[in-house]
Amino acid sequence: MSKSKGEFVTLRELIDEIGKDTVRFIFLSRSSDSMLNFDLDVARKKNLENPVYYIQYAYTRTRSIERKRLEKNINFDFENINFDFNSDERELLNKLIYVEEILYQTVNKLSPHLLTFHAYDIAKKFHSFYHDYPVLNLDDEKERNKRILLVKGVEITLSLLLNLIGVSTPEEM
């Protein structure tokens, strides 16, 4: 797209080409006082290079873990949790806790891009956590409950952030 070359794309064409979730996310991911510039090729991709897909995939993973937990009849007992978090778990937990501050800043600074950045940060931490730490296949019930709790926290937080910016939360991808 180039204004000087007389090329432009309407918002409807952009939505038809890359989808409303991606368009909405891209428009909200920049501060209102900065220029909007994005890579249309990346926006078209249905893989982890696309930031919307990346965040939605993290959410979908949380839902998949929950479905598997229920299928395997693995109980979750909030009273039986090991609250001794390792550094990676603590970093993920801190991202979840910080969402309250992000919401406050978003409202007071009229800066919805903070929501998109934070959702991406949580997704990044969660993908790493998912790769490095088993959640359901643990013999230690307290450790398993702790990780299930973290996964549930990611699910709830990503759902909140995505819903606030009007991006869907797919059950499967």
The CATH number of the domain holding residue 104 is: 1.10.730.10
Contact call for residues 82 and 146 (beta carbons, < 8 A)? yes
What is the per-residue pLDDT across 56-88, written as a single tens digit (0 to 9) for each? 999 999 999 999 999 999 999 999 999 999 999
Q: Is pLDDT at 169 greater than 60 in this prediction? A: yes
Residue 14 exposure: Cα atoms within 13 Å on the Cβ side:
17
Which phi and psi angles does 77 have, rounded to 5°? Answer: -120, 105
Instruction: State how many domains the chain has.
Output: 1
What span, in angstroms and rounded, lies between the C-alpha atoms of 123 and 76? Answer: 23
Residue 94, in any domain of the structure: yes
Q: At what angle do helices 20-28 and 51-71 cross, to 10 degrees?
A: 120
Residue 30, in any domain of the structure: no
What span, in angstroms and rounded, lies between the C-alpha atoms of 39 and 11? Answer: 15
What range defines the domain where residue 158 resides? Answer: 47-164
pTM for the full model? 0.90
